[in-house]
Structure 1
Amino acid sequence: MKNLLFLFFFITFSNLIFSQEINVDSLKINQLNEVVLTAQIEPQSLKKSVHNVKVISAEDIANLGANNLGDILNQYINITVRPSSSSGKSTVSMFGLDGGYFKILVDNVPLVNENGLGNNTDLSQINLNDIEQIEIIEGSMGVTHGANAVSGVLNIITKKSTKEKWNITATVQEETVGKEFALFEEGRHIQNLKISHNINDNWFVNLGSNRNDFKGFLGDRNGKDYTINDGTRGYNWLPKEQWQNNALLSYKKNQFRVFYKFEWLDEVIDFYGSAAQSGFNTQYGSYKYGDDERYYSTRFYHHLNAVGKLYNQLNYNISFSHQYQKREVEAYRYNISDDVELNNSKQKDQSMEVFYSIGTLSNFFKTKKVDFQLGYEAVKNNGFAIVDEEDNQKKNVYKNIDNIDFFAISEINVSESFSVRPGARYSFQSLFENQYAISLGNRLLLPKRYEVRASIGKSYRTPTFNELYTQIIFDGHYFVGNEDLIPETSTSYEASIKKRFDLTQKVDLKSNFNVSYLNVDDRITSALTGFEGATPIYEYINISKFKSINFALSNAIQSENWKFSLGGSLTGISRTIENLEFVSDDEFLYNFNLNSSISYTVPKWKTTFSTYYKFTGKTQQYLSTTDGYVLSEIEPYSWLDASTRKLFYNDRIELTIGARNLLDINNVNQSNLNQGAGHAVSSQVLLAYGRSYFLKLTYNLNF
């Protein structure tokens, strides 16, 4: 590790010297159109950013016909989307680390869920209809975004203006779920309405409502009204209905801008037990019933942001946010014979309320050579959960997890071609020892349109509410949290080189090669720590280590009508996991990913044809068993989406038709290779519900 540090600073110092010798006039670099906001002191072009930022535009989202964020992220290398058929949620992992290490923000504010803030976010609960662009930065971002930004951050930038006086958009989308579709009873049905209005030169208002009705996927199941007790009642993928409503009010005058945004999410997921049992009472006589549940999720999101100047020089940007999300569970007996619900019982089992504020001051110096930013972040988390104790007893847990952070970032433009960006953050924690994060990045522009970037960052992840307070204790099961957990710490290194080529006057090629290394210490793992009689006790403890190394190459060719991309990555992951008796192997296990996309626009037809392909190679990891650690392998698979988008009637009507999962992926095999016993046991991972088709129709009225 010391050698890597030495190499990093040697490269930085060499770049500093070399940059003085570059003739700036020789740098004939075209300015990129993309302007990025995430982790920048001020909004700036993609080329000038010290960080490697991936930008997903509103046009990219429209071409995909995506109905949730998972549909978008599923196309990108180094990102794995894991949908759950049992919970209805979709989460993201990067470099082999789950969503607890990857932070999702909306307009630079982390998004709440029942378990925390910004992490383990359900991708299906994010509204896509007001997105201007999505920005992704890989690697440690602890200085700018605090706790749990270990593997990267994703920032959703929403629309806050429109060119027209009035903009009214209405959308309907119909989608099959595998082969299943009916207008009201099967498939997915989406409706959206958005109204935007420039009241005058200063005031703007936006109102929107979105309904996403997923009727579930039967597969080899027989639905809720099935009365034969053969274990096939219910759904393979649970039905889910979402309502998302939002409002935005903004004001701008001269250099002052302020907006208030509100969003309300209401989600209902239906679970139907697999058994169809027999019952009797005096009112209904003999009847068939199932023990069913309904899960309600509700989220309220408030965000007030103000941007302006102090003393005609200092730039300030300050946000206040209040967010609340809860989950309620309603258990009931469903009388299948008479279509009646009996013995309904509803209670809240999880919630998180967050008061959040972040603010920055910048532009302390009039020179363009140096920019400096001071900032703070204040977080107050009020968490609640119901946990299971011994003897089938329930316990309510109320806990606060708070922190106040201060950070400073400087960007030093040594020359027009070379920039250095050091940063540091110190976090005052209410439950844990105080934490810190540091980073150093640089960017060097070389002749012939080369861009070189290198960075090092040290960050941390704090234990989640579940890891601290989980209790699941009943016959044969003993899983508990640990209030003595300490934060995980991590160090990441990254270097990249980007080159732009003019293949012809109208064809441009961008190629980027990236190498990164991430090390996580004191990783939290549920480990075997003892026995209660014959029942093994599993407890969260700081015992594991994690390392990953990643090599990624991406290429993008663009002309007036064509866009083509091709990328690949090779990721090696080493996990050291311990429990009471066994230690896993710490060898690096490698995974290869490949993605490609192509789109072609026919201006005369106002039509765009798009295709997206991703290959996910064999995934390996060690799993704990009573005999030791077993190497598990998930077989490789490919994913292919395609769509056609056409504009009609002076661009007022937009029609998109397409197909997801054209290769018809459902389950992939997972083998558990028992090295000691020398035999393999296979199971299956449910990834999707097969090939689906969609039609999306949008009407735009601008005046």
Structure 2
Amino acid sequence: MQQYTKAFISIFSLIGFSSVAQQTVTDTTKTSKVNQLEEVVVTGQIEPQSIKKSVFNVRVISAQDIQRQAGNNLADVLNQYLNITVSPNSSAGRSTVSMFGLDSNYLKVLVDNVPLVSDTGLGNNVDLTQINLDDVEQIEIIEGAMGVTHGANAVGGIINIITKKSAKHKWEISATVQEESIGDEYALLKDKGRHIQALRLGHTINDNWFVSVGANRNDFTGFTDERGGRDFTAYEGIDLEHQRGYSWIPKEQYFTNALVRYQKNNLRIFYKFDYFNEALDFFNPIVKNELVGLDTYRVSNDRRYDTNKFYHHLNAVGKVFNFNYNVSLSHQKQKRDAEDFKYYIQTGEEAQNKKYTYQETEVLYSTGTLSNFFDNKKMDLQVGYEFVNTNGYSSSLSGNFNGGNQEGVSLKKRLENYDVFTALEMSVTDRFSIRPGFRYSFQSKFEDQWAASLGLRQLFNNGYEARASYGRSYRTPTYDELYTYFVDSNHNLQGNANLTPESAHSFELSAKKQTFFDSGLQLSNTISASYLNVADRIEQAVVAVVPSLQYKYININKYQMWDVSSTHQLTYKNLQVKAGVSFMGISRQLNSGVIVSDDKFLYNFQFNTNIAYSVPQWNTVFSAYYKFNGRQQQFVEDGSLNDPKYILQEIESFGLLDASAKKSFFNKRLDATIGARNILDVINIRSSVASGGGAHSAGTTNMLMGYGRSYFLKLTYNLNL
């Protein structure tokens, strides 16, 4: 990021203006509550419609929820939701999300229905800390196979981030300053803590035109914990309790975005641009002596990463010949450069700097739908397409890759798919609707794939609703699984260019009851059950034991999951309470190529709740979020060649508690939010899973899950004209 841009963001952020639309304290009248229960959703729908009319079960995270949690990126808010687990990687500075025990390769993350580019694909394995929430209207979550509407890798579900494209006022200007401790480490405007500044401006030019621009800086200075930081000089082997470096590595992020929207009659067009820059520093814990002349210096071999990401999205929605169309064209490019250098700790100088292109991905993407074929409220047919052209590049620096069976070379590959899909939504009666769907995918690398779905919805008297669905989806292999080639004295791990996509089948049943009382009390209760089966799952397996142990990715494993969940919502006057429980069973059959693991079901329990209480006369909302993650179990290979076997190992249970108070001042122009994250001070979770994180060695270790109890203060000044 250029220094001029950084200075621009910092100066204007500290002036005290920002462009988030003015938020009011939650109105607790009966009308507003009904509207809340009837939120409009767009994900997976032929046309935007209320949750009640949707065949799918959709969970919505509102902009108000995000503000109450003072969420700056997607990782800040997702951890509090059932069946969702945010997995931080403190050494890589990134966080990914899993659903129903399936990792981020099985879950698709989208912005305005366009999947986001990531290190290894499109929409999958996305770093949640790189998704800013300043301009978000709501987040929609659908669990289960969504392969018909969203293509490859939407096996576990999808998360769709809907951004703001309008404003209530002619001018909406606001600025945010947020200061946050990282555990017990904090210093104002210095190299301790988390420092956030944001600027946003929205302008309604006339009835047809709307524009907005925004910028955000997030400076995460790292969490030393029991380490000594960048300039720690203890000799290797003397102070093992306090090594050099950080438990959570530092990174500085800049987000900028711009939107232009035009609408007239039935036509709406918008163009959205996002630019993201991230500077991330890795400080090697190994420090050595180096003799220069007559002097001895403490030296370490460090690395820094610089990531630049560009996002272009052009969307058109309208009507032609009585057909409704919705077309998106997107171009995304992500490039990560690395710089290796020697760092002289006593002097702070660098030497022997070498820069590399570490990883690069460029995607040209388009999707479109055509609907309203029958001009009939009882029936609607949707046909659509999705085109994906992905160019991927990884250097040998990011891990050796197999390009034409050559070790240690850079890899550049192109993957393409061209999909067509259709869905038919029929209202058989006023209360019963059915939605079948089918997709066919023409693949450049793999055999052609297909997905299918069937959704049913029935409304009953007295506020009862019932839904049932079936989905068949597929997951295509990642770059690592296809092309990895890593060989040294201890490892021999090879990708497999002949891998085939995985296939998955899911079934869901749910029942919901909404009750409205004359007193203003509202209740919403849901119970659901789901089953997921993944075949031909890709995992590492032993393919040879002589002359050395060799692993290779192959289609060999199986995965089954069943889940029973129940969620409840109570709204009464100024109080809103939500709670949910989930009981899940997971069966993984692992085949190492030498032995096969037990395929019995292992169980996990989760509970979450959040409470919001508003005090209108104080213009204040008090909020608390809690989630309990029960004990997790899994089979891990013990790594012994003499007596190979799978061992049942576990991760201990833990709870996450956040709380905040949001108050408005000066006729709601200034919003102040104060609160705490991770109040229960979770840092390390005891685990008997291998410390290296691999599937082929076992041991006892601690998993770094958080950086302890943190406190934040967020100030937002709103100017609406």
TM-score (normalised: structure 1):
0.93
Q: Measure, in 1, the Cα distance between the counterparts of 2:657 and 2:187.
A: 24
Other structure's SS at 1:382 match: strand
Residue among 141, 159, 163 paired with 1:158: 163
Q: Measure, in 2, the Cα distance between the counterparts of 1:66 and 1:30.
A: 26
- Alpha carbons 2:651, 2:689 under 8 Å: kept: no
Task: Give the deviation of 1:504 after TM superposition.
Answer: 4.8
Amino acid at match of 2:681: D
Residue among 569, 575, 580 paired with 1:562: 575
| 2:265 is equivalent to residue 254 of structure 1 | yes
| 2:477 is equivalent to residue 463 of structure 1 | yes
Amino acid at match of 2:45: Q
Q: Measure, in 1, the Cα distance between the counterparts of 2:538 and 2:195.
A: 40
Residue among 531, 545, 560 paired with 2:545: 531
After the TM superposition, which of the residue ranges 169-178 and 393-402 deviates more from structure 2?
Answer: 393-402
Residue among 280, 288, 303 paired with 1:269: 280
Structure 2 partner of 1:123: 128
The correspondence of residues 225-244 of structure 1 with structure 2, limited to 5 A, is 225-229=231-235, 230=239, 232-244=243-255
After the TM superposition, which of the residue ranges 619-628 and 145-154 deviates more from structure 2?
Answer: 619-628
Amino acid at match of 1:689: Y
| 2:68 is equivalent to residue 63 of structure 1 | yes
| 2:571 is equivalent to residue 571 of structure 1 | no
Task: Give the deviation of 1:111 after TM superposition.
Answer: 0.4
- Alpha carbons 1:640, 1:661 under 8 Å: kept: yes
Q: Measure, in 2, the Cα distance between the counterparts of 1:386 and 1:471.
A: 12
| 2:631 is equivalent to residue 623 of structure 1 | no
Amino acid at match of 2:359: Q
Describe the superposition over 1:74-122 as per-residue Cα deviations: whole angstroms up to 9, x where unpaired. Answer: 0001001111110011001111100000000000000001211000100
| Deviation beyond 6 Å, 4+ runs, structure 1 | 389-392
Task: Give the deviation of 1:624 after TM superposition.
Answer: 2.0
Over 3 Å counting, the alpha-carbon distance change for 1:392 and 1:494 in structure 2 is closer
Other structure's SS at 2:617 match: coil
Residue among 383, 390, 397 paired with 2:411: 397
| 2:368 is equivalent to residue 359 of structure 1 | yes
Task: Give the deviation of 1:353 after TM superposition.
Answer: 0.6
Question: Structure 1: 5+ residue runs without aligned partners?
Answer: 1-28, 674-679
- Alpha carbons 1:631, 1:672 under 8 Å: kept: no
Describe the superposition over 1:360-381 as per-residue Cα deviations: whole angstroms up to 9, x where unpaired. Answer: 0001112211011000000001
Other structure's SS at 2:66 match: helix
Other structure's SS at 2:52 match: helix
Describe the superposition over 1:608-647 as per-residue Cα deviations: whole angstroms up to 9, x where unpaired. Answer: 0000000000000111232221111001011100000011
Q: Measure, in 1, the Cα distance between the counterparts of 2:374 and 2:616.
A: 47
| 2:717 is equivalent to residue 699 of structure 1 | yes
Structure 2 partner of 1:91: 96
Amino acid at match of 1:161: S
Q: Measure, in 2, the Cα distance between the counterparts of 1:477 and 1:644.
A: 52
Structure 2 partner of 1:505: 519
Amino acid at match of 2:417: N
Residue among 137, 141, 149 paired with 2:146: 141
Describe the superposition over 1:152-203 as per-residue Cα deviations: whole angstroms up to 9, x where unpaired. Answer: 0000000001111111110000000000001111000000001111122211
| 2:321 is equivalent to residue 334 of structure 1 | no
Residue among 211, 217, 225 paired with 1:219: 225
Structure 1 partner of 2:558: 545
Task: Give the deviation of 1:681 after TM superposition.
Answer: 5.1
Structure 2 partner of 1:80: 85
- Alpha carbons 2:183, 2:708 under 8 Å: kept: yes
- Alpha carbons 2:82, 2:580 under 8 Å: kept: yes
Residue among 270, 286, 297 paired with 2:296: 286
| 2:172 is equivalent to residue 167 of structure 1 | yes
Amino acid at match of 1:630: I
Other structure's SS at 1:116 match: coil
Residue among 677, 684, 688 paired with 2:702: 684
The correspondence of residues 618-697 of structure 1 with structure 2, limited to 5 A, is 618-626=631-639, 627-671=644-688, 682-697=700-715
| 2:487 is equivalent to residue 473 of structure 1 | yes
Task: Give the deviation of 1:437 after TM superposition.
Answer: 0.4
- Alpha carbons 2:455, 2:470 under 8 Å: kept: yes
- Alpha carbons 1:619, 1:633 under 8 Å: kept: yes
- Alpha carbons 2:38, 2:52 under 8 Å: kept: no
Task: Give the deviation of 1:607 after TM superposition.
Answer: 0.3
Describe the superposition over 1:547-592 as per-residue Cα deviations: whole angstroms up to 9, x where unpaired. Answer: 0000000001112311101100001000011022110000000000
- Alpha carbons 1:426, 1:434 under 8 Å: kept: yes
Other structure's SS at 1:160 match: coil
- Alpha carbons 2:386, 2:419 under 8 Å: kept: yes
Describe the superposition over 1:39-64 as per-residue Cα deviations: whole angstroms up to 9, x where unpaired. Answer: 00000011000000001100000001
After the TM superposition, which of the residue ranges 504-513 and 610-619 deviates more from structure 2?
Answer: 504-513
Amino acid at match of 1:298: N
Q: Measure, in 2, the Cα distance between the counterparts of 1:624 and 1:102.
A: 26
Over 3 Å counting, the alpha-carbon distance change for 1:389 and 1:200 in structure 2 is closer
Amino acid at match of 1:260: Y
Over 3 Å counting, the alpha-carbon distance change for 1:392 and 1:436 in structure 2 is closer
Describe the superposition over 1:425-476 as per-residue Cα deviations: whole angstroms up to 9, x where unpaired. Answer: 0000000010000000010001111000000011100111111111111221
The correspondence of residues 93-112 of structure 1 with structure 2, limited to 5 A, is 93-112=98-117
Amino acid at match of 1:594: F
Structure 2 partner of 1:424: 438
- Alpha carbons 2:317, 2:327 under 8 Å: kept: yes
Other structure's SS at 2:68 match: helix
- Alpha carbons 2:179, 2:713 under 8 Å: kept: yes
Over 3 Å counting, the alpha-carbon distance change for 1:392 and 1:410 in structure 2 is closer
Structure 1 partner of 2:9: none
Other structure's SS at 2:523 match: strand
Task: Give the deviation of 1:386 after TM superposition.
Answer: 2.1
Over 3 Å counting, the alpha-carbon distance change for 1:30 and 1:123 in structure 2 is closer
Other structure's SS at 2:409 match: strand
Describe the superposition over 1:103-160 as per-residue Cα deviations: whole angstroms up to 9, x where unpaired. Answer: 0000000000121100010000001000000000000000000000000000000000
Task: Give the deviation of 1:671 after TM superposition.
Answer: 2.4
Amino acid at match of 2:530: S
Q: Measure, in 2, the Cα distance between the counterparts of 1:280 and 1:210.
A: 44
Q: Measure, in 2, the Cα distance between the counterparts of 1:280 and 1:114.
A: 39
Amino acid at match of 2:636: L
Amino acid at match of 1:494: E
| 2:612 is equivalent to residue 599 of structure 1 | yes
Q: Measure, in 2, the Cα distance between the counterparts of 1:373 and 1:68.
A: 34
Amino acid at match of 2:377: K
Amino acid at match of 1:493: F
Q: Measure, in 2, the Cα distance between the counterparts of 1:302 and 1:276.
A: 43
| 2:203 is equivalent to residue 206 of structure 1 | no
Task: Give the deviation of 1:228 after TM superposition.
Answer: 1.4
- Alpha carbons 1:648, 1:654 under 8 Å: kept: yes
Other structure's SS at 1:622 match: strand
Describe the superposition over 1:382-427 as per-residue Cα deviations: whole angstroms up to 9, x where unpaired. Answer: 0111242699963011111100000000100011110000000000
Other structure's SS at 1:394 match: coil
Other structure's SS at 1:604 match: helix
Q: Measure, in 1, the Cα distance between the counterparts of 2:704 and 2:203.
A: 44
After the TM superposition, which of the residue ranges 322-331 and 222-231 deviates more from structure 2?
Answer: 222-231
Describe the superposition over 1:243-301 as per-residue Cα deviations: whole angstroms up to 9, x where unpaired. Answer: 0111111111111000000001100111111122211335x943211111112221100
Q: How many residues align?
A: 666
- Alpha carbons 1:263, 1:300 under 8 Å: kept: yes
Structure 2 partner of 1:191: 197
Other structure's SS at 1:117 match: coil
- Alpha carbons 1:389, 1:474 under 8 Å: kept: no
Q: Measure, in 2, the Cα distance between the counterparts of 1:513 and 1:38.
A: 21
Q: Measure, in 1, the Cα distance between the counterparts of 2:260 and 2:468.
A: 40
Structure 2 partner of 1:34: 39
